[in-house]
Structures are given as C-alpha cells and as structure tokens.
Structure 1
C-alpha cells in the first residue's frame, strides 16, 4: 500500500472516530442513496446491531427515512420530528454538493428527544398546575402566602397585598419576616419545627394590622419543601362574630315553641316529671331540670314558660357550654362601650335584661365558669345587674330555669360549683328520666318521630314492624330521644322509596356495646364507656378535626373539649 492510500485510510479512520464520539446520530449516503457510514450514536438510537449496512439502500436500513428524498430533491430538511418505534428524534437532512453543484450524497444528523419531550411535557404540566394554583389562591377571600423550606416567600395572592400593604415585588424572594410589624414569622417557626401552627396572633404591614395566622408545612416525598399560610383579618372576624351574635340573639328571643301537649310520655316516671312541672309553672320559683343529654330538658323549659303568666313575655335561651370562655359574662350581663377590646360601639344589653319580665333558660349550667357563677349568684340574691364597664345597677324581673346533665353535688364537693348558687337554682328540681327508664314511651315516640321525618324527608312511612320495635326497645339509648331520632332517620334513609313500614332489615347497625339488661350499679360506667367509644370513633372518622367531630355528634365544641378531657382523649 502506497503512502497516499495509507494517509487516506488514516484520515478516514480519524473522521470515523470523530463522528463516533458525537452524541448526535449521523447517517451518510452516496448519490444513489446507499449507506456509506452510520456512527455509533445512530446505531444505538436506531438499534442497528449488524455492521453489514454499507452499500445497502438507506430505506432498507432505516425504513421511514427521508434521506432518499433529499438525494432526489437536493433540498435540505431542517429540524424535522420523526418517530422510530417509541423513540422520537429531531433530525436535519442535508444534501452534499461539490463546488459545481453536483450531488455527492446526503447526510442526516439527529438526536433522541424522547426524554427531552417528556421533560418538556412535564414542565408544561407544571406550568399549567402552577397557573391553576395561582388562579385558585387568587380567587379565595383569604390572604395567602407560600414560603420555601428556608422561609423565603415564593408566592402571595391579591388579598395578601390588600391586607399587608406589600406587593409581590416587595416580598417574593425575601424572608417571610418582611411583612411582620410585631411578632414572630410563623413561616420561619414552621420551617424550624416542621409542624402546623394555627391561630397565631401578630401584626403585619405598616399599619400594624391585627391578624390571625394559620401556617401548614408542605412535604413532598416526606421531605419538607416549604409552608403555606392563611392570614385572617381580625377586624373581619370580629365583624362576622358580631353578625353571628346578632343572629343568635334573634334566635334566642323567639317565643317558646313547645307546651306540655308536645311532651310524649305516659309512663309513671315521665308523668311524675310532667306533674311537677305543671305545678311549678304558674309560680315564679326557680327550676332545675336534671337529666341526661337528649331527654328533653329544653322541651320542659319551653312548656313551663308557656304554662306561666309570663307566656307573652320573652323566653331567652342560652347554652353555657356553647359560648367561648370569657364570653358568657358579657352575654349575660351586657357591657358598655369600651368595656373591653372588641366591645361593640354603643355597648350591648345582656340576656338577663332581654329576658326582663320573662324567662331565662340556662342550659348546661354546670359548665358556667366560677367567676360568672359568683356574679350570677349576686343577681339571684339581689335581682339586680351591673353591665361590664358600668357602675350603675338595674333591677330586673326574670324567672330562671336551669338545666344540667352532670352531677352538681359532686361539682360542689370538688369546688367547681359555688354551693350557694347550687341552693339558689335547686329550689324545684325536676328529674327527667332517660329513655331506658321509660320503655313504654318508646313506641309512641317512634311513631311521632316517623311522622316528623316523613314531613322532613318527603316520605310516606306508615309505621314499624313488631320485631323492629322489639329490638329498638331492647337498646339502652344513652343519647336518649335525640339518639333514637337519629337511629330512625338512618333506618328511613336505608329504606326503598316504595316501602311503607320500617322492618328489622331496615334498621342500621347499632354501634353500642349493649348486651342484655344493664344493672343500675354499672350504668354510669357502661354509659361512660359507650360515650367515650362514640367520641373516639367520631374523632377518627373526622381525622381529628374537633369542630367537625362536635358537629357530627350533635354537641357543642366546648362540650366536646370537656368530654375529651374527662375521658383523657387526645
């Protein structure tokens, strides 16, 4: 071999190595569209295992190639998308011409863009998701801020700028402390603790607006990536709270709805209670209604008022356990303007004053705070009130009916209830028996409930079968009439629209642990265990959300807190 041929071979080998080192695929053909060279990247992309491709027509090696078209047309095709099986490539095909414009062949240079396209689609999806997220947080009435794992602000909405006074440019990329006027950044606290922080009070912006902040950590694949905060304007909350108070106040001032004719009970125990209530109704004596939850204490309070000479005067009802701590005193006695932070302009009359000439029904009086008990005792002794923030007294004529489902005597012993107040409200105690002590009343109660629910649900149930009624009579009903009504409601919902009678098969599963007749000495323990299990199940079903749990159980949030504390539930 002469030197020239050696040099040509060496040069060809050099070019071959150079082309094989490229990440792009390269295919070269001659003027007859026959393969001259395919580099390593092209062979991998095209999955060509054989080396016997030189001299073959390119369409026989790469079936859907267009290199032969470029050879025929002598026109380049730049950045074309092509599919090879599941692989996507972007390719440019260029004709090779000599100085006189004669065709020497063509070359295709291409790259696998399958992964790049997937990533581009993911980026597009992420952009779409981000845009959707931005639209969502922009549409909410709450101020929202989002911070990264280091506590730097990455996103805020329009309500945030309204509330804090800071625009996006001023806060994005800055530490979450930038908008704090007084207090500590909750985003920073969550970044350290990796736990949600709710109800944190602080002040934001140049106007030092009072806000309540809830911040929740964000985790991706169990890795902390940031936090999202919802900022509530306290002034709006107070305004809504005042509106709610007004609505509740209007509801409380409604006339008593029920009379003794509405009380269903022919059994001896219930008749004793009704007789006592009818005897005391015409007097102004203070009444204490005692009985378990759901026995109908409020029903008795309405009936007593309507059977008295006060029937045309106000009947005001308040649940001592439903009002937040510290609110009951101002609700009962009223307040003057400026008496405390958030006090309404012009002040407000209390529930006692609203009930002047009529009746005030205090439900769950055992939950009344000791400080309020003391002031309420003074009212019962003097029949005079003094508003919060005032020194003036006002004499009232109010009849008090109280109700409780807890042992007040034990509370007195424990120092949780003032003895003198206990004696003042316990002038005429009336015990309302639980449902298990008046089994004979279950049948008329069931029939009444069916008629009531027929109206509510638009059904036409005529009655209940004897075997279904027998089962209902055998159950303990710790929730009493309220629980019985819920049970019948579930049975009716289970029934086909064409059915006219509640049958044994219609009854829902009973979640209690009742077996046989409960013995008197074990009654309290059995009921406590049952109540505890109901609360545990409700907490689990509502994923620990106490507000929803209280709602599903049909009790106030405050009562739920007391029960959780009593049963040591977390």
Structure 2
C-alpha cells in the first residue's frame, strides 16, 4: 500500500513535501524536487535547512493551515497550501505542503490583462477619430464600430454588431461583403446609409493576419461634410487672393530710364481711380506693377483680387467673375456664389491676360466698366459695386481689334492710361541689380549663401536676350545655383548650364570699369551701327533691333544720337 501511495504522489503534477512533528522531512515527491531543485537525500533533515522560504516548520508549531500562498523560488513562482497533520486525538504529528508552478499561468494572465488594456486603448483611439469606422470579420459580420459611425449612420453598436454588414445599407452594396468575396481594397465607393439615407464615400481594405484573411475595415466619409470642407477651402483661396497685393514700388528693381518712366507713370495714376492697362512682354512684371499701384492708391486697405483670364475655363469664367444665383445651372451651390468682381468691391480688380478674355464675355465686362453694375448668372436683380480696374496683356490688342477679336469699345475703356513695361533687352543696365536681387531670394529658398556673380557671368547675362524676361532670368539663375556646391559663394562660368555654348571673348584686351557705363557704351554702338545699316530709317532700325519706335527714340535722346 505504501508503494502504491508513493507511486501516486510521484505521478501528480503538484509538488509534495511531508514533515514530522519535529519538522523533519519524511517524504518529498519527484515534482517537488524538480520545482525546488531538491534531492532525495534531504529525508530526515530539518525542513527549514534544506527548503528555502518554507513555512512548514511554522505550521507544525502553530497548527494553523496556510492555503494558496504565493511563494517565489529561484526558477519559478509557485502557489502553496500548507496543512497540519493531526492524529485521532487532534495532536499535531506533522505537516504537508502541496504546491504547483504558476509561472506560465501568471504570464498568461498578464498577457490577457495587457491585451485587454491594448483593446481598451485601441477602442478609445478609434472612438476619438472623426472618421466613421466599421470592422467586419471574414464572413462580413460587423464586429466593431465607433462613435462617429453612429453619428453618420444613426445606428448604435448594439444594433449592428453581430449582424451582417448589410444592416446599415440603404442604397448600394455592402463593401464588407464585397471584400469578403474579393479580398481586395475598395476605394471611393458611393453609398447611402441609415434611415436618413445619408450619402457617404467609403474606403475599405482587407485585414490579413499571418497571411490569413480575417475581415475588413472601412472608413466612412459624410459627403455633405466633404462638400462643406470644399466650400470652406474655396473661401480660403478667395481670401488668399485678397492678400496678394504684397509688393510696392520699392520692390521694382531698376535704375534705367525706361523703368523709371514706367514707375513715375504708375505712381501718378495710382492716386486716381482711372483704369490702367499694363502693356509688356511676358515676365516684365505686370502683376508686380498692379500690386504697387494698388498699395499706393487710396484703396490699399480694400481687397486686391487677381484674376488670370487665361487660366479659368471659358465655360465657368462668367460665373467666376460675376457670380451666380441659386439654381443657375447644374451643380450650383445652394444660396448661389459671389463673383470675383463683387469680392473686389471697395478695392482693385486685376485682370491679367485680358487679351484672352472670350469675345462673348467682353460685352458684359464693358457694361460693368461703364456702369459699375452687373447681373449675376441666372439672376435678375442688378448689383452695383465700386471697383478699380487694372488690366494687363502681352498681346497686340490693336491688331486684335482690327481682326474683330477684341471689342473696340472695351479696348478704349481699358486703354485709359496705358503703361509700357520694357523687356530686359531694352534695359540691360538693370540686369546686374535684378540678378543679385534674385540671388538673394533664391538663397532663402535653396538654403544657399551665394554672395556675388563673377564679371564673366555678368557679361554673359547682360549681353544675352531674355525672351521670358525676369521670369526666364530667375529660372536660369535657379538652375545655376543648383549646380553650385553648398560651400561656393560666387557664381562662375563653370556653374552655367549653357556653358558649352558660351565662349569668352578671344581678345585679351577687355575694358574694365563700371558695368553700367560699359553696357551703355555697347548699346550706343549697336544703335549707331544699326542706324547706318538702315540708312537712317528709324522704323527699319527699330524692327532690326526688335524694339518699339518709341523706345528707339528714348535711347536716341538718352545717348545724344542725332535723330
């Protein structure tokens, strides 16, 4: 019987230690030795001497049981019950400790606790987002939704969780169900959800865990909120337009006679409400002048609205300029929309690329300039505003009038005070100063520290024609600075992207002196030689030089060349 009892105790997963009334070990099973690192030769020894942290000797002395006590050993955490052993008279004759390793159980419990905490954190994060989120399992059964989902669909979690994902669909097909079949993402699906049949856009992706499809997650966007954000963005863009008048006459670089004449003309007309027509090639600074005129006028505290007539599609240009009433056309916003003309009330309306204004719209603009009144698209009531017009073009409006492409009356209304902005090739002496201004600006944009431009490069850029004018020069210098190393401080010939096509003068005798004087001397020689070639014909000479006759007369007077 004793043999059978020993076999049973050695077979159980619990550890067992038995001591007598003197707290000496009388039995220890195999699992006890394994858990506590003991050997069988502890039999007969005082238990406190051979088992660390034991309390069996105390239980023998007090006779009080200790149930489910946690005990830490060197290799594990055990839970122990220590029970006194009594004879038939109730006298203590020993004690037994039964214990079990709970390290793995405790670790599992901690993991479960951590998972619950993570789950609670994830749920809090999902609930805090403004986007509606729903999660379904591999069968398309809803398993999780957030608060924003309830706000958009009207369904509470209790009404949808555990049910097929079709439960919230009013019109359309469930995206979760589609993904459960295709297992591929679906983007920008248009649906109607909930009792109110709210229109939404849904983006959904499948969920894979270790390569196994486990369901899908969908993000639902309220279309009405998207439209509201679009309208708000449009309003912000309009406000930005009002803030663009940021330049003054001090920002216009140049000391040449032609640019000084243009600036003086602009300063004078800025003090009046007269309509201004800025003429000049592309990149000569027409919008810069428009800003400066506005900021020097009595309207500088009013809005400055810039409109590029060539950038807005002809189909919507009238609505953009003059606004529209509700229901004017398909897609019109509820309540209508103010046009750019009305937004400029009390300020300046800058019409860039006026030559590209469609003929069909020119008559309406003409009437507005004459009366300061207009009727929005689809409207009946007349609106009146106080707007100063500045127009700009690089086109030959006179030729367009002759060809029937531009209304003569509109031309005369716009051409009240024309200002000619000269191209760079007609004011080469300004190019060095303009170039350094551009370099300083590009230093900020590119994070460079360029301090100057070599004389050879200055000679190159001042003798080159710039069809794109300041805009082309800025692009050129931008490419040059990109070719420079971060440590380089001066622009040299080696940095020029076009250096293969540029050759330095072969003559070793190069005049040295103030660049402005040298450029003027060179320009004077060119004009004199051209006049000789044209036999004194000013019109022919201007054509050869590719400048206007008026500009040629300016230069003849400036350099004292006989007319």
| Map of 1:517 onto structure 2 | 496
Indicate whether 1:129 and 2:118 are aligned.
Answer: yes
The 5 Å alignment of 1:81-92 reads 81-92=70-81
> Distance between the aligned counterparts of 1:165 and 1:106, measured in 2?
66
| Map of 1:290 onto structure 2 | 282
Indicate whether 1:185 and 2:164 are aligned.
Answer: no
Match of 2:434 among 437, 441, 446: 441
Unaligned runs of 5+ in 1: 1-10, 366-372, 409-419, 454-463, 489-503, 524-570
> Distance between the aligned counterparts of 1:100 and 1:51, measured in 2?
31
Bigger mean CA offset, 65-74 vs 219-228: 219-228
> Distance between the aligned counterparts of 1:303 and 1:347, measured in 2?
33
Match of 1:72 among 61, 66, 85: 61
> Distance between the aligned counterparts of 1:251 and 1:14, measured in 2?
94
Provide, for residues 148-196 of structure 1, a one-character-per-residue CA deviation record: whole Å limited to 9, x for no partner.
Answer: 4444322222232122111111111223332121223334455566665
> Distance between the aligned counterparts of 1:226 and 1:509, measured in 2?
58
| Map of 2:360 onto structure 1 | 378
Change (3 A) 1:118 1:443: same
Indicate whether 1:302 and 2:284 are aligned.
Answer: no
Indicate whether 1:262 and 2:251 are aligned.
Answer: yes
| Map of 1:8 onto structure 2 | none
Offset of residue 339 of structure 1: 4.0
Indicate whether 1:102 and 2:91 are aligned.
Answer: yes
> Distance between the aligned counterparts of 1:180 and 1:148, measured in 2?
17
The 5 Å alignment of 1:60-459 reads 60-190=49-179, 197-218=186-207, 225-253=214-242, 256-265=245-254, 284-285=276-277, 290-291=282-283, 298-303=287-292, 315-318=304-307, 330-339=319-328, 343-355=332-344, 360-361=349-350, 376=358, 378-380=360-362, 383=365, 389=378, 401=391, 438=431, 440-444=433-437
Change (3 A) 1:46 1:386: farther
Provide, for residues 122-150 of structure 1, a one-character-per-residue CA deviation record: whole Å limited to 9, x for no partner.
Answer: 22222222222222333333333333444
8 Å CA contact 1:267, 1:438 repeated in 2: no
> Distance between the aligned counterparts of 1:246 and 1:342, measured in 2?
17
Task: Provide the alpha-carbon RMSD of the alignment.
Answer: 5.6
| Map of 2:32 onto structure 1 | 42
> Distance between the aligned counterparts of 2:393 and 2:6, measured in 1?
98
Bigger mean CA offset, 123-132 vs 310-319: 310-319
8 Å CA contact 1:144, 1:157 repeated in 2: yes
Change (3 A) 1:325 1:213: farther
Change (3 A) 1:112 1:286: same
Offset of residue 208 of structure 1: 0.5
> Distance between the aligned counterparts of 2:388 and 2:224, measured in 1?
35
| Map of 2:14 onto structure 1 | 24
Provide, for residues 511-536 of structure 1, a one-character-per-residue CA deviation record: whole Å limited to 9, x for no partner.
Answer: xxx9621118999xxxxxxxxxxxxx
| Map of 1:551 onto structure 2 | none
Q: Calculate the TM-score normalised by the size of structure 2.
A: 0.61
Offset of residue 225 of structure 1: 4.5
Offset of residue 303 of structure 1: 3.3
Change (3 A) 1:119 1:255: closer
8 Å CA contact 2:202, 2:221 repeated in 1: yes
- Say which SS state the counterpart of residue 109 (structure 2) adopts: helix
The 5 Å alignment of 1:521-532 reads none
- Say which SS state the counterpart of residue 18 (structure 1) adopts: helix
8 Å CA contact 2:9, 2:16 repeated in 1: yes
Match of 2:44 among 55, 62, 78: 55
Provide, for residues 236-275 of structure 1, a one-character-per-residue CA deviation record: whole Å limited to 9, x for no partner.
Answer: 3333433443444344345834333322356899889979
> Distance between the aligned counterparts of 1:378 and 1:204, measured in 2?
45
- Say which SS state the counterpart of residue 169 (structure 1) adopts: helix
Offset of residue 28 of structure 1: 2.4
- Say which SS state the counterpart of residue 348 (structure 1) adopts: coil
8 Å CA contact 1:289, 1:401 repeated in 2: no
Bigger mean CA offset, 15-24 vs 66-75: 15-24
Change (3 A) 1:209 1:322: farther
> Distance between the aligned counterparts of 2:258 and 2:15, measured in 1?
96
**Count of residue correspondences:** 451
